[in-house]
Amino acid sequence: MLIGSKVEKKFNIWPVKKHSSILLLLLLASTWCIAQPDNLQLIGTLKTETNQLIPLKLTIDVQPGGEITGISTTNFLNEDRTESRITGKINFEKQMLEFSEIGNVSTSSDAKANEFCYIRVKNLHWRQNQEKSIFNGQFNGFFPDSSLCASGEIYLVNSQLLRKMVENNKRLRDIRDSLKQAATSGVQDTAITARVDPDAPLQNAEVLSLAWHSNQVKLQVWDGFKEDNDRIAIYVNDSLRHKSVVAAAHKKTFQFDFENEKVLTIKIVAENEGSQPPNTVNTHLIDAGKVHPLSTKLKKGEFVEVRLLKSKE
């Protein structure tokens, strides 16, 4: 994430101040019961000592013995969205989680490398009363030179439950829609398809529509987690363009012309599920410098589709 005097204007990610505490309220209202899964998806917020809120999402793979690896995503509601690798430990008996960001995977920010602030969390406990649980604890952030750049509280809950709670509550849906409108006001190249969690992986048969401005589409593909030989096929306007693309740790870049059509469709099909199912792939769709980050989570033979709609503006 970005902190410090040079990038302070990018720090307050909420578009409208009166909504800056909504995510925190949603977290405090959430309930869920944690078992011992192979992976976790947690969503929440960092609350700094100056009461600024930074949205945070963790996608965690749990290894034997409680070791964890995964990806943290900060600022996923604004232009400085950043994905970082994390490592740590989880203890289900003691109900405790700890993790550290160890480097960036991708970022939409133009900040310098020494301006990024990497989160470290120790002794993050989750409280559980019958079926009610929430992760809560303290965090510290450090620049690459190990100097302190932030500190405060961290709140996390299960992302699937949070989405379900929002969908089942009209008031929360209205708040969500208001946040979407505020976040996209004045921005022309925003997602046309409304998504409850813009950071959630696309799954089988999902179709996402995006407004597009440039005459070229750049697609980047990589494996954001452990490289396990996930393979995909890429179709453009139902025509197979690339077969057996292996999602590796490094990004592979593909380019497609988008000049004469009003709509261009990109379909990603899972050819296998690698050595660690399911098939998971990270992608960037780049529109003249504007990055649309997406990820997919598919079984063999499943697909997702992205429809790019040429904007007149």
Per-residue pLDDT reduced to its tens digit, 266-307: 999 999 999 989 999 999 999 988 899 999 999 999 999 999
| Residues 264 and 133 occupy one common structural domain | no
| Residues 23 and 153 occupy one common structural domain | yes
Domain count, the chain: 2
Question: How far is 81 from 198, CA to CA, in rounded Å?
Answer: 12
Enclosing domain of residue 148: 5-167
Q: How many Cα neighbours within 13 Å face the side chain of 192? A: 12
CATH number for the domain spanning 265: value is 2.60.40
Within a domain: residue 81? yes
CATH number for the domain spanning 116: value is 2.40.128.120
Is the whole model's pTM more than 0.85, yes or no? Answer: no
| Residues 208 and 132 occupy one common structural domain | no
Q: What is the pLDDT of residues 217-265, one digit of tens each?
A: 999 999 877 789 999 999 999 889 999 999 998 899 999 999 888 899 9
The fraction of the chain above a pLDDT of 70, given in percent, is: 71
| Residues 36 and 154 occupy one common structural domain | yes
Predicted confidence band at 186 (pLDDT cuts at 50, 70, 90)? very low
Higher pLDDT, 148 or 192: 148
